[in-house]
């Protein structure tokens, strides 16, 4: 027995929601976030602006921005018991699983968890965004047997995040590049993790549960996990020629090359990747060492010529994070942390106009 609907593997091209949050306009090659172009935002605005845009619907005025920064800073603290839970995790725990555990544990500290009103959800989202850098960094540190690091509220949101990661106060240049990566990762229409979060939210479940599911989705290397996979691949060799060979070998072995391809931009470069390629160039220039850029460009060329495939954001995020001195295990958790703004906006939108997701199947089992 089957329904009359056509089955589309991977739901390729299927419309899953009506949204006012974002849209990948492939015809005009624009990533639209609430009417603004993400690439323009990455040149003229910072992550905090985009957080406000996603959650409050418009870019902030100067005073709203200051208020938002204060709101985030005042929510930096993590309950000690959550840190204790994280300290009990075995050291082979994947950093994304550490983050997932910490995020999930925070739900028990929300005294208003059953309140799904717009205001309650928004306030919850901002509180979580305040806590995410400390949860992300300290879950990683505790799993690795390192001391917990406390946030520095005198720094900007992104500078503090980077400071907690590296243990050193970043230069303005480093903080700005890191901020740009957060901004570019903040929202991207209907990737697997957003769909996951919306599906969970559609049962009237809460933001913590929806986000926790989002972490699990983002961990996979076909999605967010690709950024760390790219860096492991780059670290396998030392020169552009060797990297070219490595990629060619992977293609001969019919392996997927991480950081390439995209469901929506399969035959074009992800516009966000170009921005981070430029950031990598700037970082190489500062260091006076262009090796990583040369390797990435060599990989890009082989993939374009041999497969007609182009880099996605993760391909250039990886070497940028490497050059900022960020441990590889934190690449995907940072992606999630930045994406929390977009995911929360989607969960709020789903709660505000909800119908439970419940698709059908084509049955191909035993006859009956
Ligand atoms: C920020 C992000 O999350 S971006 C995505 C990050 N993920 C990655 O970089 C992982 C590598 N890329 C991929 O696996 C895919 O391109 C995805 C998951 C991003 C998109 O998947 P889909 O839209 O389902 O495309 P699908 O996997 O069917 O690929 C279509 C064809 O291109 C090939 N292809 C796609 N990506 C790659 C790749 N990275 N390396 C080699 N071949 C690839 C496939 O083998 C397939 O070829 P075929 O038609 O000959 O079988
Ligand atoms: O859109 C997608 O499928 C994946 C992606 O690039 C993202 O989540 O940023």
Q: Ligand 1: does its nearest atom lie under 6 Å from the Cβ of 184?
A: no
Are 211 and 249 part of one and the same domain? no
Are 143 and 105 part of one and the same domain? yes
Residue 50: inside a domain: yes
Are 104 and 250 part of one and the same domain? no
Q: Is the pLDDT of residue 1 over 60?
A: no
Q: Ligand 1: does its nearest atom lie under 6 Å from the Cβ of 67?
A: no
Question: How far is the centre of ligand 1, averaged over its atoms, from the C-alpha of 199 (Å)?
Answer: 23
pLDDT band for position 4 (cuts 50, 70, 90): confident
pLDDT tens per residue, range 61-90 = 999 999 999 999 999 999 999 999 999 999
Q: Interface pTM (ipTM) of the complex?
A: 0.99
Q: Ligand 1: does its nearest atom lie under 6 Å from the Cβ of 320?
A: no
Are 208 and 82 part of one and the same domain? yes
Identify the CATH number of the domain in which residue 313 sits.
1.10.230.10
Are 51 and 187 part of one and the same domain? yes
Are 162 and 230 part of one and the same domain? no
pLDDT tens per residue, range 228-265 = 999 999 999 999 999 999 999 999 999 999 999 999 99
| Boundaries of domain holding 176 | 30-221+338-352
Are 171 and 49 part of one and the same domain? yes
Contact residues for 136 (Cβ-Cβ < 8 A; gap 6+): 99, 161, 330, 333, 334, 336, 337
Mean pLDDT, residues 281-305 taken together: 98
pLDDT band for position 267 (cuts 50, 70, 90): confident
Are 307 and 213 part of one and the same domain? no
Q: What is the pLDDT of residue 306?
A: 97
Are 176 and 231 part of one and the same domain? no
Are 289 and 206 part of one and the same domain? no
pLDDT tens per residue, range 204-231 = 999 999 999 999 999 999 999 999 999 9
Residue 11: inside a domain: no
| Count of domains forming the chain | 2
| Residue ranges lining ligand 2, Cβ < 6 Å | 188, 191, 262-264, 312-313
Identify the CATH number of the domain in which residue 95 sits.
1.10.580.10
Question: How far is the centre of ligand 2, averaged over its atoms, from the C-alpha of 187 (Å)?
Answer: 8
Question: How far is the centre of ligand 1, averaged over its atoms, from the C-alpha of 268 (Å)?
Answer: 13
**Ligand 2: residue whose CA is nearest its atom 2:** 191
> Mapping DSSP to helix (H, G, I), strand (E, B) and coil, where does residue 78 land?
coil
Q: What is the pLDDT of residue 159?
A: 98
Helix (H) or strand (E) holding 30: strand 30-33
Are 169 and 230 part of one and the same domain? no
Are 133 and 42 part of one and the same domain? yes
Residue of 2 and 181 predicted with greater confidence = 181
pLDDT tens per residue, range 131-186 = 999 999 999 999 999 999 999 999 999 999 999 999 999 999 999 999 999 999 99
- Percentage of the residues of the chain whose pLDDT score is greater than 90: 97
Average pLDDT, the chain: 97
């Amino acid at each position: 027995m089957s329904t009359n609907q056509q089955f589309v593997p991977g739901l390729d091209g299927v419309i899953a929601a009506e949204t006012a949050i974002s849209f990948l306009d492939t015809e005009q090659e624009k990533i639209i976030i609430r009417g603004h172009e993400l690439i323009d935002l990455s040149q003229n605005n910072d992550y905090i602006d985009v957080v406000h845009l996603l959650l409050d619907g418009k870019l902030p005025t100067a005073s709203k921005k200051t208020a938002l920064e204060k709101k985030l800073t005042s929510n930096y603290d993590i309950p000690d018991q959550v840190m204790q839970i994280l300290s009990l995790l075995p050291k082979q725990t994947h950093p994304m699983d550490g983050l997932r555990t910490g995020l999930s544990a925070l739900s028990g500290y929300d005294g208003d968890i059953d309140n799904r009103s717009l205001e309650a959800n928004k306030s919850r989202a901002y509180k979580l965004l305040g806590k995410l850098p400390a949860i992300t960094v300290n879950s990683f540190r505790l799993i690795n047997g390192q001391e917990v690091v406390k946030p520095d509220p005198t720094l900007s949101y992104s500078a503090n995040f980077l400071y907690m990661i590296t243990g050193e106060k970043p230069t303005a240049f480093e903080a700005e590049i890191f901020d740009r990566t957060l901004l570019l990762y903040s929202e991207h229409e209907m990737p697997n993790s957003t769909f996951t979060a919306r599906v969970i939210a559609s049962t009237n479940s809460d933001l913590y549960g929806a986000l926790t599911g989002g972490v699990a989705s983002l961990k996979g290397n076909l999605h967010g996990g690709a950024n760390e996979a790219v860096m492991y691949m780059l670290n396998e060799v030392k020169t552009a020629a060797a990297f070219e060979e490595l990629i060619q070998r992977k293609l001969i072995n019919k392996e997927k090359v991480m950081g390439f391809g995209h469901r929506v931009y399969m035959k074009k470069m992800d516009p966000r990747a170009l921005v981070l390629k430029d950031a990598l160039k700037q970082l190489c220039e500062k260091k006076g060492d262009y090796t990583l850029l040369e390797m990435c460009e060599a990989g890009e060329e082989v993939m374009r010529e041999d497969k007609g495939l182009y880099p996605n954001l993760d391909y250039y995020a990886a070497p940028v994070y490497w050059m900022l001195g960020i441990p590889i295990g934190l690449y995907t958790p940072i992606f999630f942390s930045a994406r929390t703004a977009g995911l929360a906006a989607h969960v709020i939108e789903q709660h505000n106009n909800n119908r439970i997701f419940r698709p059908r199947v084509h049955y191909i089992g035993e006859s009956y």
